Structure 1
Amino acid sequence: MNVDCFIEARKSKGLSQSELAENICTQTTLSRFENNGQVPNLKTLIKLCTRLDFPIGDLFPKVGLKNTEVVKKMDKIEFYFITSEYEEAQNLLESLKITSEDENSDITLRYLYLKGFLMFFRKEELTDILFTFDQILLNETTTEKKMYQLLAYTGIGMTYARENDFEKSEFYFSKVIGQIYDCPTNSIEDMWRVLNMVFHAGVYYAETNEIEISNALLEYAITICSENHVTYYLARAAFQLALNSVVEKKDIPETLELLYDARAYAKVNGNQVLLKKIKALEIELKEV
Structure 2
Amino acid sequence: MEILGNKFREARKRKRLSQTALAAGICTQATVSKIENKNRCESLDIFYSLCTKLDILVEEYLVENEEQELTKILDDVEYLCNNNKCKEAFELLECYGDKDVVNLSNDLAVRYLYYKGRTSSNGMSYYKQGLAYLNQAKSLSKKTSVYSLLIENAIAATYMLNGEGLKKAQLHFERINQMLQEFSEELLPPIICGLYYNLAKYFSELKEYQKSIDLCNAGIRINKRTNSNVYLVFLLYEKAYNEFYLDGTEEGYRIAYYMSEFINHEYILGCIKKDMNKYNIEL
Name the TM-score class by shorter chain.
0.5 to 0.7
What is the TM-score normalised by the length of structure 1? 0.65
| In structure 2, C-alpha distance between the alignment counterparts of 1:191 and 1:112, rounded to whole Å | 19
1:92 partner SS: helix
User: Given the alignment of the two structures, is residue 278 of structure 1 paired with residue 269 of structure 2, yes or no?
Assistant: yes
Indicate if the aligned counterparts of 2:87 and 2:124 stay in contact, CA closer than 8 A: no
1:148 partner SS: helix
Residue in 1 that maps onto 2:203? 205
The residue identity in structure 2 corresponding to 1:230 is S
1:101 partner SS: helix
| In structure 1, C-alpha distance between the alignment counterparts of 2:179 and 2:244, rounded to whole Å | 30
Q: CA deviation at 1:119?
A: 2.1
Indicate if the aligned counterparts of 1:133 and 1:152 stay in contact, CA closer than 8 A: yes
Q: Against the structure 1 CA distance between its residues 183 and 115, is the aligned structure 2 distance closer, same or farther, given a 3 Å change threshold?
A: farther
Residue in 2 that maps onto 1:179? 179
Q: CA deviation at 1:198?
A: 1.5
Q: Against the structure 1 CA distance between its residues 255 and 62, is the aligned structure 2 distance closer, same or farther, given a 3 Å change threshold?
A: closer
Q: Percent identity?
A: 18
Q: Against the structure 1 CA distance between its residues 208 and 161, is the aligned structure 2 distance closer, same or farther, given a 3 Å change threshold?
A: farther
| In structure 2, C-alpha distance between the alignment counterparts of 1:161 and 1:280, rounded to whole Å | 19
| In structure 2, C-alpha distance between the alignment counterparts of 1:64 and 1:186, rounded to whole Å | 33
User: Given the alignment of the two structures, is residue 156 of structure 1 paired with residue 155 of structure 2, yes or no?
Assistant: yes
How many residues matched?
Answer: 233
Residue in 1 that maps onto 2:76? 76
The residue identity in structure 1 corresponding to 2:197 is F
Q: Against the structure 1 CA distance between its residues 220 and 251, is the aligned structure 2 distance closer, same or farther, given a 3 Å change threshold?
A: closer
CA-to-partner distance for each residue in 1:204-251, whole Å, 9 max, x for gaps?
333454433222211111122223433322222112223445656835
RMSD, aligned α-carbons: 3.7
Indicate if the aligned counterparts of 1:202 and 1:214 stay in contact, CA closer than 8 A: yes
The residue identity in structure 1 corresponding to 2:148 is Q
Residue in 1 that maps onto 2:129? 128
| In structure 2, C-alpha distance between the alignment counterparts of 1:249 and 1:44, rounded to whole Å | 72
Q: CA deviation at 1:182?
A: 2.0
Residue in 1 that maps onto 2:25? none
The residue identity in structure 2 corresponding to 1:139 is L
Larger Rg: 1 or 2?
1
Q: Which runs of no fewer than 5 residues in structure 2 stay unpaired?
A: 3-29, 43-60
CA-to-partner distance for each residue in 1:51-75, whole Å, 9 max, x for gaps?
xxxxx54999965543333222211
| In structure 2, C-alpha distance between the alignment counterparts of 1:44 and 1:191, rounded to whole Å | 41
The residue identity in structure 2 corresponding to 1:158 is A
